Amino acid sequence: MIDGCGRTIDHLRLSLTDHCNLACRYCAPEDTPVLGGMIEANFAFEIVRWLSLQHGIRHIRLTGGEPLLHPRLIPLIERLAGLDTLHEVTLTTNGQMLAQKAAALRDAGLNRINISLDTLDPRRFAHLTRGGDLARTLAGIEAAVAVGLTPVRINVVVQRGLNDHELNDIAQWSLARGCTVRFLEVMPIGPLAHVIDEHLVSAAEMLAQLNERFWLRPIPQSLGQPAVDYAAVGVGLRGVIGIIAPTTRPFCSRCRRLRVTSRGQLVTCLHDDRYYDLSRWWNGQTLDVEGADATLSSAINEKPASGAFVQLLCMQALGG
Ligand code: SAM
């Protein structure tokens, strides 16, 4: 699938629900709670099947909200894993319920997992996530490694004044467990766009801090890869540390992504407020492929060359 700017689109982020058991401060607004919709598993499957068979989508990441809250997650992954047009089915989670589910996810055919972890301090974790339990996420990470959902990737959103002194400790903790770790610049999304004014830490600053503890050598980037990954060597440790800089070094010209929200809306850019409704082509049993093709065609042709920063939704509702 080639968009209006000539970019190949082969990655899909599919939000299974906009409900979440945490409410991270940069992701979920405090005053306007997200309502908590769940996409029907059959609808989700038919969207992926259509996009992969007919439009060349090869990489699926299940997200949310919190995807582990979806009651049909395991059977959905089993069905997705059976689509031989897909190269991989991956998932992003906050890890709060992962310890109990890691083995079932692996058995269902999940290829890889990303786990969000912004701090190693239990009190700070509870503060940043508005109530999360650090021990549960750490246990989830250990379980994912133990069952072989590898390489397990730890995602850290770096925020000035909150966790920006923890980069080396989080990297060390992750590498010691055989995980890769990626540090992300906080992005200005929808109603929470203002968080960057106070909390943005640039990739350059992150790198300077990581260089104090690790020897870092850049690894050549693969297509569609927004992160700059480094082969990292520290005392008694080696692994991969990545940095993603969507705010100070946007990678729009290399964007290969589409999103589908848990309400069945196509979103072509995190920073654009046009949503293309696929749910009108779903009758509860079948997807009207002709109608969906027409909606997709408009979306793809109108995918912006770069972000206009007019998003209305928060990340939790969009699917991060
Ligand atoms: N609940 C899951 C989780 O916590 O990983 C999946 C959904 S969450 C929206 C997906 C990712 O988006 C997380 O790694 C989160 O940190 C990231 N995210 C959310 N809002 C963000 C923002 N404003 N800037 C950067 N990353 C953000």
Q: How far is the CA of 236 from the centre of ligand 1 (A)?
A: 31
Q: What is the mean pLDDT of the chain?
A: 95
Position 222 pLDDT exceeds 80:
no
Domain extents for the chain? 11-318
Position 31 pLDDT exceeds 90:
no
What's the average model confidence in pLDDT over 174-199?
94
pLDDT at 247: 93
Question: Which CATH architecture fits 11-318?
Answer: Alpha-Beta Barrel (3.20)
Position 240 pLDDT exceeds 90:
yes
What's the average model confidence in pLDDT over 87-111?
98
What is the per-residue pLDDT across 293-317, written as a single tens digit (0 to 9) for each? 999 999 999 999 998 888 888 899 8
- Where does the pLDDT of residue 191 fall: very low under 50, low under 70, confident under 90, or very high at 90 and above? confident
Pocket residue to mutate for ligand 1, from 157, 247, 271, 313, most atoms within 8 A of Cβ: 157
Q: How far is the CA of 219 from the centre of ligand 1 (A)?
A: 24
- Whose alpha carbon is nearest atom 17 of ligand 1? 320
Question: What number does the ligand 1 atom closest to the CA of 189 have?
Answer: 23
Position 224 pLDDT exceeds 80:
no
Q: How far is the CA of 283 from the centre of ligand 1 (A)?
A: 31
Pocket residue to mutate for ligand 1, from 13, 38, 92, 309, most atoms within 8 A of Cβ: 92
What's the average model confidence in pLDDT over 166-186?
98
pLDDT at 56: 98
Position 157 pLDDT exceeds 80:
yes
Ligand 1, pocket residues at CB < 6 Å: 20, 26-27, 63-64, 66, 92-94, 116, 155, 157, 184, 186-187, 189, 315-316, 320
- Whose alpha carbon is nearest atom 12 of ligand 1? 320
- Whose alpha carbon is nearest atom 19 of ligand 1? 27
**SS3 letters across the chain:** CECCCCCECCEEEEEEECCCCCCCCCCCCCCCCCCCCECCHHHHHHHHHHHHHHHCCCEEEEEECCHHHCCCHHHHHHHHHCCCCCCEEEEEECCCCHHHHHHHHHHHCCCEEEEECCCCCHHHHHHHCCCCCHHHHHHHHHHHHHHCCCCCEEEEEEECCCCCCCHHHHHHHHHHCCCEEEEEECCCCHHHCCHHHHHECCHHHHHHHHHCCCEEEECCCCCCCCCEEEEEEECCEEEEEEEECCCCCCCHHHCCEEEECCCCEEECCCCCCCCEECHHHECCCCECHHHHHHHHHHHHHHCCCCCCCCCCCCHHHHCC
Q: Which of 129, 7, 90, 17 is nearest to 56 (CA)?
A: 7
- Whose alpha carbon is nearest atom 14 of ligand 1? 116
What's the average model confidence in pLDDT over 123-133?
97
- Whose alpha carbon is nearest atom 1 of ligand 1? 66
What is the per-residue pLDDT across 32-77, written as a single tens digit (0 to 9) for each? 766 778 999 999 999 999 999 999 999 999 999 999 999 999 999 9
pLDDT at 225: 80
pLDDT at 29: 87
pLDDT at 263: 95
Question: What number does the ligand 1 atom closest to the CA of 155 have?
Answer: 14
Q: How far is the CA of 179 from the centre of ligand 1 (A)?
A: 18
pLDDT at 53: 98
CA–CA distance from 199 to each of 81, 184, 195, 232 (Å)? 38, 12, 6, 26
- Whose alpha carbon is nearest atom 20 of ligand 1? 27
4 Cβ neighbours under 8 A, 6+ residues apart: 300, 301, 302, 303
Half-sphere exposure of 74 (CA within 13 A, CB side): 11
What is the per-residue pLDDT across 258-297, written as a single tens digit (0 to 9) for each? 999 999 999 999 999 999 999 999 999 999 999 999 999 9
Question: What number does the ligand 1 atom closest to the CA of 246 have?
Answer: 25
What's the average model confidence in pLDDT over 116-132?
98
What's the average model confidence in pLDDT over 4-29?
95
Pocket residue to mutate for ligand 1, from 27, 133, 261, most atoms within 8 A of Cβ: 27
* pTM over 0.75, yes/no: yes
- Where does the pLDDT of residue 226 fall: very low under 50, low under 70, confident under 90, or very high at 90 and above? confident
Given a contact cutoff of 8 angstroms between Cβ atoms, the answer to whether 46 and 76 are in contact is: no
